[in-house]
Structure 1
Amino acid sequence: MAVPFVLATLARRGLLRPGPPADLIRQLTALRRWGFGLAGELRQAAARDPERVAVVDERRAVTYRDLLERAGRLARALRGTVRVEPGDRVGVLCRNSAAMIETLVAVTSLGADAVLINTGLSGPQLSTVAREQQLRALIHDDEFELPKGLDGIGAARLDELINEAPPGELTPPEHAGRTIVLTSGTTGVPKGALRRTPGGFGPLCSMIDRIPLRAGDRVLIAAPLFHTWGYAGLQIALALRATVVLRRRFEPVAVSAAMVREQCTAMIAVPVMLQQLMEQVPAGRRPPLRVVAVSGSALPGGLATRFMDRYGGVLYNVYGSTEVSWASIATPADLRAAPNTAGRPPHGTRTVVLDEAGRPLPTGTVGRLFVGNEMLFDGYSNGTSRERHHGLLATGDLGHLDAAGRVFVDGREDDMIVSGGENVFPAEVENLLAGLPQIREVAVIGVPDARYGERLAAYLVPQPGEILGPEQVRDHVRRHLARFCVPRDVVFLPSLPRNATGKVLTRDLPR
Structure 2
Amino acid sequence: MVTDVIDVTAEFTIARQALWDVLLDPESYPRMFTGIGSCTRVEGTDGTVMWQVRAGSPATGVRDIELTLSVGRWYESFELRCSELGSYVAVRLRGDQDRTRLDITLFGVARIHPALDGRPDATATDWVKAGLRRTADVLSGTRSSVVVNAERSPLRRNAAVARSIAATGLVRADPFAMMRQVRTLQKWGFNLAGGYAASAVLTPDAPAVIDLGGGVRTFAEIDTRSSALAAAMHASGLRAGDAIGLLARNHVGMVETMVAAGKLGVDVALLNAGLSGRRIEEIVQRHRLAAVYVDGELEVLIRYLHASIPRVNTDGRPPVPERPTINDCIAAAPAEFPIATHPGRLIVLTSGTSGSPKGARRPHARGFATIAALLSRIPLRVEEIALIPAPLFHTWGLAALQLCTALRATVVLGDGFDAVACLGRIAEHRITTLFVVPTMVERLLDVPDEVRAQYDLSSLRFVISCGAPLSGATVLRFLEVFGDTLYNVYGSTEVSWASVATPDELRVAPTTAGRPPLGTRVAVLGPDLRPVPVGTVGHIFVANHMLFDGYVNSAPPEEADGMLDTGDLGYLDAGGQLFVEGRDDEMIISGGENVFPRPVEEALAHLPQVSEVAVVGVPDREFGQRLAAFVVRRDDAGLDSDMVRTYIRHRLSRFSVPRDVTFLPSLPRGETGKILKRVLVRPDATI
1:377-400 deviations in Å (ceiling 9; x for gaps):
111011520101111110000001
Give the CA deviation at 1:451. Answer: 2.0
Q: Distance in 2 between matches of 1:80 and 1:239?
A: 29
Corresponding residue SS for 1:480: coil
Q: Distance in 2 between matches of 1:107 and 1:123?
A: 24
Q: Distance in 2 between matches of 1:486 and 1:324?
A: 34
The residue correspondences of 1:189-338 to structure 2 (distance < 5 A) are 189-280=356-447, 282-284=451-453, 285-287=455-457, 288-338=459-509
For 1:164, the aligned partner's letter is A
1:190-216 deviations in Å (ceiling 9; x for gaps):
100111111211110010121111100
For 2:312, the aligned partner's letter is I
Q: Distance in 2 between matches of 1:194 and 1:270?
A: 22
Contact kept? 1:350, 1:371, Cα under 8 Å: yes
Corresponding residue number in structure 1 for 2:569? 398
Corresponding residue number in structure 1 for 2:233? 78
1:341-364 deviations in Å (ceiling 9; x for gaps):
000111111111110001111111
The residue correspondences of 1:299-378 to structure 2 (distance < 5 A) are 299-378=470-549
Which moved further from structure 2: 100-109 or 151-160? Answer: 151-160
Q: Aligned match of 2:349 in 154, 177, 182?
A: 182
Q: Distance in 2 between matches of 1:71 and 1:248?
A: 21
Structure 2 unaligned blocks of 5 or more: 1-153, 317-324, 683-687
User: Which has more radius of gyration?
Assistant: 2
**Do residues 153 (structure 1) and 312 (structure 2) align?**
yes
Q: Distance in 2 between matches of 1:23 and 1:350?
A: 35
1:87-123 deviations in Å (ceiling 9; x for gaps):
1111111101111100000111111111111110101
Corresponding residue number in structure 2 for 1:105? 259
Q: Distance in 2 between matches of 1:403 and 1:283?
A: 39
Q: TM-score, normalised by structure 1?
A: 0.97
Contact kept? 1:35, 1:199, Cα under 8 Å: no
Corresponding residue SS for 2:472: coil
Q: Distance in 2 between matches of 1:140 and 1:487?
A: 43
Contact kept? 1:283, 1:310, Cα under 8 Å: no
Corresponding residue number in structure 2 for 1:38? 192
The number of residues matched between the two structures is: 508
Q: 1:476 to 1:292 in 2, by over 3 A?
A: same
Contact kept? 1:72, 1:170, Cα under 8 Å: no
Corresponding residue SS for 2:198: helix
For 1:186, the aligned partner's letter is T
Q: Distance in 2 between matches of 1:170 and 1:263?
A: 40
Contact kept? 1:124, 1:147, Cα under 8 Å: no
Identity rate, percent:
46
Q: Distance in 1 between matches of 2:293 and 2:206?
A: 27
**Do residues 18 (structure 1) and 173 (structure 2) align?**
yes
Contact kept? 1:127, 1:147, Cα under 8 Å: no
Contact kept? 2:609, 2:639, Cα under 8 Å: yes
Q: Distance in 2 between matches of 1:4 and 1:505?
A: 42
Q: Distance in 1 between matches of 2:328 and 2:511?
A: 49
Which moved further from structure 2: 421-430 or 152-161? Answer: 152-161
Structure with larger RCO (C-alpha < 8 A, sep 6+) = 2
Which moved further from structure 2: 186-195 or 486-495? Answer: 186-195
Q: Distance in 1 between matches of 2:351 and 2:416?
A: 18
For 1:73, the aligned partner's letter is A
Q: Distance in 1 between matches of 2:456 and 2:617?
A: 40
For 2:173, the aligned partner's letter is P
Give the CA deviation at 1:142. Answer: 0.3
Corresponding residue SS for 2:164: helix
For 1:257, the aligned partner's letter is G
Q: Aligned match of 1:167 in 331, 335, 355?
A: 335
For 2:185, the aligned partner's letter is L
Contact kept? 1:11, 1:17, Cα under 8 Å: no
1:12-35 deviations in Å (ceiling 9; x for gaps):
11112324x443322110112222
**Do residues 93 (structure 1) and 247 (structure 2) align?**
yes
Q: Distance in 2 between matches of 1:276 and 1:107?
A: 35
Q: Distance in 2 between matches of 1:399 and 1:149?
A: 42
Q: Aligned match of 1:426 in 566, 587, 597?
A: 597
Corresponding residue SS for 2:351: coil
Structure 1 unaligned blocks of 5 or more: none
Contact kept? 1:91, 1:138, Cα under 8 Å: yes
1:482-510 deviations in Å (ceiling 9; x for gaps):
11111010000000010111001112216
**Do residues 125 (structure 1) and 125 (structure 2) align?**
no
1:62-93 deviations in Å (ceiling 9; x for gaps):
10000111111111101102x11111111111
Q: Distance in 2 between matches of 1:399 and 1:165?
A: 52
